Amino acid sequence: MHRPNLDEFELIARYLAPLARGESGAFGLLDDAAILDIVPGQRLVATADALIEGVHFFPGDPPELIGRKLLRVNLSDLAAMGAVPFAYLLTMALRDEATADWVEAFARGLGVDQKIFSVTLIGGDTTATNGPIALSATALGYVSLNGGLRRSGARAGDRVFVSGTIGDGAMGLKVLTKKLRGLGKDDRDYLKHRFRLPEPRVALGQRLQGIASAAIDVSDGLAGDLGHICVASGVGAVIEVARVPLSAAARHAVGTDPQLLETVVAGGDDYEMLFMAPADRTDEIVTVASESGVPVTEIGSVEIGQGVTLLGKDGSPIELESHGYKHF
């Protein structure tokens, strides 16, 4: 199907084919599929994620940032598996009023992050929609035959760690939807930027192989994603909420409205790494975090049992209305 205002083949040739120049097996996007040479002694890691207008981005958002966010949320999944990313496929469902300028800017954003993360476009699909813009990417990476990170390796006694800061993405969404007020312009701008342009912890994930026992990226919320690890590993976890790292903007927001602490713990869109490791590997984690340029904070522990327990400053359990974002 071709676009009424943008011919499909012209769109591909002008804006997308240049993004495929780094992979000979993509054939300049002239064929129906790519043919890739898999790295000997490695296993393929594949993930797919989608962004929907009105949910993950908004009509007024810069298309460059939309392209970069689409790629980054997929790279975050690869990071949580400890994978080295190398390629991705792209699907675009655009409305009739989509303009060449929008597509050009979107592709320019992809090109920026292709260079940063050493990945190449290798194919995909373009189509039309009468609904909101829908964008999807399938990212490919690789791990060694005995490498990679999973959700299912956590064991009682492990410590729980998280990268970066938590709560910024969910608060950024609240700022964009006018549900969070009372902050200064700098804080608002910072939180919006964190929602629009997450930082996939690709280098950190790769370095944690052989150290972390389990890992996931924080997309649906800290408590909810930790719950996924608990289910996969057959364990429980305890989090000390006061130890969860906050940005200055998030601290200001929570200081204004303490109820926003639930947004920190249960909100999504941070795309930080949440992982477990044995207590005797802590020094190695400090070293890896420093060498990767990513701050890492210990926030709790893994225990025998099931589910996630959140503790307040006084050590008493905190009950949440929601443990995380639900897609349906």
Quote the distance between the C-alpha of residue 311 and its chain's center. Answer: 26
The topology (CATH level 3) of 159-311 is Phosphoribosyl-aminoimidazole Synthetase; Chain A, domain 2 (3.90.650)
CATH of 8-144, one of 3.30.1330.10, 3.40.50.1000, 3.40.190.290, 3.40.50.2000: 3.30.1330.10
User: pTM here?
Assistant: 0.91
| 3-class state of residue 215 by DSSP | strand
Domain residue spans of the chain: 8-144, 159-311
pLDDT given at position 117: 98
Three-state DSSP class for residue 85: strand
The rounded distance, in Å, linking the Cα atoms of 222 and 265 is 5
Digit-by-digit pLDDT tens for the chain (328 residues) are: 344 456 777 888 888 988 989 778 778 877 777 888 888 899 999 999 999 999 999 998 999 999 999 999 999 999 999 999 999 999 999 987 788 899 999 999 999 999 999 999 999 999 989 999 999 999 999 999 989 999 999 999 999 999 999 999 999 999 999 999 889 999 999 999 999 999 999 999 999 999 999 999 999 999 999 999 999 999 999 999 999 999 999 999 999 999 999 999 999 999 999 999 999 999 999 999 999 999 999 999 999 999 999 999 888 898 876 554 443 3
Helices vs. strands in the chain: H and E counts, helices first: 10, 10
Return the sign of the alpha-carbon dihedral for residues 258, 264, 265, 266. positive
CA 287 to mean position of chain CA atoms: 23
Q: In this structure, are residues 127 and 1 in contact, taking their beta carbons and an 8 Å threshold?
A: yes
Q: How far apart are CA 22 and CA 28, in angstroms?
A: 9
